[in-house]
Structure 1
Amino acid sequence: MKEREWSTIILAAILISFPIMFFTWIIYAIVMLSTGSKLYGALVIAASALINIFYLLAYIDVLKEKVFWSLCGSAILVIAISFVLGWRYEQYVEKLKIVDDQAINMSNYEPFREGTKAVSLPEPAPLKIRSKLPQLDGSTALYPMYAAFVQAVYKQKEYPYYGQDSEVQVNGTEDAYNRLIKGEADIIFAPAPSKDQEAQAKAAGVELTLTPIGYEAFIFFVNSRNEVQNLTLEQIQGIYAGELTNWKQFGGANEKIRPFQRRENSGSQTMLQKMMKDKQLMEPAKEDVNSGMGDIIKQTANYRNYKNAIGFSFLFYATEMVHEQQIHLLKINGVEANRENISNGTYPLTAPFYAITAGSDNPKVQPFVDWILSPQGQYLIEKTGYTPLKSELNSARR
């Protein structure tokens, strides 16, 4: 190495590094804003760091020019290969099925829509609501059911599920509770509220009235290639507490478990939290999302059907998805999730769902709720694919 003062070397290093770092951050920002990929961003930084190091070593004569260009070429080749492998991996991940409660096209169930999948009664309903229509909202999982109620009782017209002016909306459990508490909805159809939702209602001076109208199974599912068929409640609690981490602990493959969760205050996430009882729920898997304003934010990752993944939902959605999504439902405590086992009470993760009100002054609300509890309302619940309160199968519960 040529004799130079260290201060001169340090100054040269700063002068050389600054433009390289400047252009690195520009390229990094472009890559992250266009792809949101942490992998690509890391490769940009790695490439910049290597070029910087090689250049500095060449500058102080540790590297000869020929060696310098050889190392730069090798580094570029390795990084290019990493980019290709990373791209192929991300393509693989994108092809994995996402199992999400939003997967069903809600427009297929819009009441009075031509070809609607909403169930119809075999005879006219004695209750007819033609004016002061109660404003409805609810869980995505329950929309097919309350769309059938509307089709039986409400006056015939269009009820777009996404329309702000529509009397029948489906905004999901969290937003439905928010609208009910604010007085923007008269009835919502949802699982029981979370602790946060109860606190929000109390803070707003609103009393929530929960009327059970049927039952649904909370289910867990895995990739169809997963050999595990059955878990106990204690084992599921251990997985979601982060205590049980490998499928081989249950007779499966030697693979680390990927337990997916849903966003806070969603109906299924609230059910998971209640199922955990005294155990601390682990932090959910996160994914980076481009917010559209130049920021990368983190949100709870949607279930992707990795071979080692486990996720949860409600039975109606799971049975709608199972063929397409290549998943299979786990037995819980050796009991299969099906309508008969929900009705006779043997499936351990069965919970009621509710028609929930909050003191609406609409005089049509209570007659509507009463009709839902009638044989006709319960018929629509059962024919839609849920378990009614009142049926021959459900006599054990009565």
Structure 2
Amino acid sequence: MPGPRLFARGARREVRRIAAILRTETTGGLLMLGATVLALAWANSPWSASYREISESHFLGLTAAEWAADGLLAIFFFVAGLELKREFVAGDLRDPRRAALPVAAAVGGMVAPALIYTVINAGGATRGWAVPTATDIAFALAVLGLVNTALPTGLRTFLLTLAVVDDLLAIVIIAVFFTSSLHVVPLLLALAPLAAFAVLMRRGVQAWWILIPLAVATWALVHESGIHATVAGVLLAFTVPVKRGVRLEHRWRPVSAGVAVPVFAFFAAGVSVAGVSVGNAVTIGVVVGLVAGKTIGITGATWLVQRFTRAELDGDLDWWDVAGMAMLGGVGFTVSMLIGELAFGAGSPRDQSAKLGVLLGSLVAALLGAALLRVRDRHYRRLLASDS
């Protein structure tokens, strides 16, 4: 009896949904790239002081940069939570056989970079082990969107699904490893607006003048509890029924990809390269973790799934396709930047080194992945031409 097919084409409805997400995230990735370039240029210009003034300006107890990281990224994680729930309840991940590959690949793609970073920083800044473990779906899909038209749909679906599982693991890492102090009372109080939000969602209430204050109250109380406030976005998303979650995801994904993430990128990417050494262990660990660790971890985990489940690559797919997608998995940004701030303290020298590593590692991973997938794209174009 033949084993399962890896990277097989999904159902037609799933293919259409993936295509719509690809368009939104590709546009968001390009906006984030523009925000990143602007931040880098401004932070390294003669007007860098004004960039710092904007980032450190206070409003309602938080700086602008903190509002971007704690507030706007909650929208990003809300959308990620909606996607996670949909995938596990009604999507491909509800089938354990189909879920095995992206789950294993995501785990491998986190373990290998973390190990590589830890080895390089042994006896030093090991607290940053989680920085190179995240994949930025917007940037990765933006690169993929610029490269391909002929790559099999199964590969694109794999990258998106892997990033969804990656987000789930990143949420667990943030909640478990980067909660410095836990205040139980605000956390318990957060259950009240969260429960009210859940009840209203299940009853189909659409009065945003009620729902949004409940969401903001949940966010504020989770923030006060010591757990990173972005976790509130995930908790809120998990209370939304799947059918309504699809509509909410369609409504909020453009806000996340087009506003929340680019604004966070603007405040997070303003690294003054003059004050950071590329050769320090933190930067090297992040770069090698993203470029080599992600490629080794994702490809290796995929091979293990094939080896122990009798699965085979679908159709004309080749292991070079898998390696190319794994390289794109090394395009880390949003969550990697956030974890760097949580690990080392926003604006600290090690945080700056980690951010420089994220920028350099993501750039190298994007260029290598794009080059390899460009070659594979030409291969599939020739196959399509020969079949016509």
Scaled by the length of structure 2, the TM-score of the pair is 0.26
Structure with higher RCO (Cα < 8 A, 6+ apart): 2
Larger Rg: 1
Which structure shows the bigger proportion of residues in strand conformation? 1
